[in-house]
Amino acid sequence: MKKIIGILALLVLVGPFVGLVSVAALMNPAAISCGSGSLLVGSIPDSLTAHTRNGQSITLNRQQLTHAATILSVGGRTAGVGREGALIALMAALTESTLRMLANPTAYPESASYPNDGFGSDHDSLGLFQMRSISGWGTVAELMDPEYQARAFFGGLSGPNAGSPRGLLDIAGWQLVDPGEAAQAVEVSAYPDRYQNYQPVAEAILAALTQPTSASADAANPAVPETSRIVFPLPAGTYTGTDSFGWRTDPVTGAQAFHAGSDLAAPAGTPILAVADGVVSFAGRRGTYGGLIVIEHTVGGERVASYYAHMYDEGIHVAVGNSVVAGQHIGDVGSAGKSTGPHLHVEIHPGGEREPAVNAMVWLAEHGATGLASAEVAPAGCRPGKAA
C-alpha cells in the first residue's frame, strides 16, 4: 500500500495544474500496455481448476465462470480497461466472493429475493465485489446485478458512480503498481495483501475464457492505410490553449483529476480538422465528451486513435465507416457535454481507441503536425510511458 501511495503522491507533484476551461474525459493515465489478446469471451467451460499463489487448489463451477465472463465482457467494452484491468477485477471478485453473487439477508432482507449464489455476512456488503450500498456503490437492486457491479468496479467515464466511490479507471497510476495493490485501491479492504494470492487463478480464467487476437478479430477491425501527413486539428490563429494534458483541478468538481486531453478554446463553429488520414470509428454523443468523433489512423506503422470532443449534434460532419484525409473538415467547435465554453478537447491514443492517451500537443509536435508552432506545445505533464 505504501508503494501505491508514494507513486500517486509523485504523480501529483509533477503534474501541471493549469487553465480551467474544459472538462471532458477525466480518464486514468496508463503507463504500460494491457498485453496481447482480446477480451472477446469464448465458450464457458463447466469447471476450471487452478492454484492460488500460496498453492491452494480452487475449482470454479460454470456459474462462477459465467460471472467471470460478465466481468470480462464489461471490461471489453469499457475503454481503458484492457486485459490488465480485467485481470485486476477478476482478482478482486475472486478474493471478495470467490466469484459468487452473494446476498446479505441480515443487512438487506430484500437482497435474498434477487438471483444469488448464496448468502454473505461481511457487514452490509453485497455481490461479486462485496460492495456496500451505504458507501455509495449503488442501491440493493443495482448491487445484486453482476453487470452493474462490474461497471462500478471499472468506473471511469462510463461507470455509474462518477468517480465516487472510485472505480479502477478513476485511480491514477493503477497500471504502475502490482495488480493486487490496484485491486486494494478500489476495494479499500482491511486485508490489503489478500488480492495477490488470486492472481494465478485470475490469469487461468483469462486464458480459458478469452480468445487470442485472430484473423476473425482483425476482419472486424480492418487495417487503416498509412497516413500521408499529420495536421493540427484547428486552423492557425483560431484557437488558444486553455488546459493541458495531466493533473489539474477539475473546474466543475474542484477535485484533483487527470485530464487526458488538450483543450483549445475557439469560437463556436470553428472548423475541426482530422489530424491524419484514417477511418471514423465513432461519431455521436458519448457521456461527458458531448459530441465526439473518434478516428483510427496508422502512423509509422502503429495504430493511433484521435478524439475530438464537445461538438453539438449538428456540428458532426462524418459518420462511422467514413474514410477521411488529413486536414479534412470533420466537425465544428461546440460546448456540448461537460464543458464551460466553446472549445475542442483533443486526445491522441497510440495503439488505438482502447489504449491510454498521451499528451496530444507533444505527440503532434513530435510528428511534425502542419499548423503547430513549437511555442504552442503544452507542458508534457504526467505523460505516461509505454511498456518496452
C-alpha 239/C-alpha 237 separation (Å) is 6
**Whats the size of the chain, residue-wise?**
388
Mean pLDDT score, 353-379: 77
Q: Is the distance from CB of 168 to CB of 174 less than 8 angstroms?
A: yes
Mean pLDDT score, 270-289: 91
Q: How many CB atoms lie within 10 A of CB 377?
A: 19
**Would you state the pLDDT for residue 18?**
30
Q: Which domains does the chain have, with CATH numbers?
A: 38-212 (no CATH), 240-376 (2.70.70.10)
Bridge partner list, 60: 48
C-alpha 176/C-alpha 345 separation (Å) is 26
Q: What is the pLDDT of residues 300-327, one digit of tens each?
A: 889 999 999 999 999 999 998 888 889 9
**Would you state the pLDDT for residue 212?**
53
* Band of residue 121 on the pLDDT scale cut at 50, 70, 90: confident
**Would you state the pLDDT for residue 147?**
93
**Bridge pairing between strands 246-249 and 125-126:** unpaired
Instruction: Give the range among 101-105, 182-186, 216-220, 238-242 with minimum mean pLDDT.
Output: 216-220
Question: What global pTM score does this model have?
Answer: 0.50
Nearest CA-CA partner of 65 in 44, 89, 39: 44
C-alpha angle 361/363/364, rounded to 5°? 65
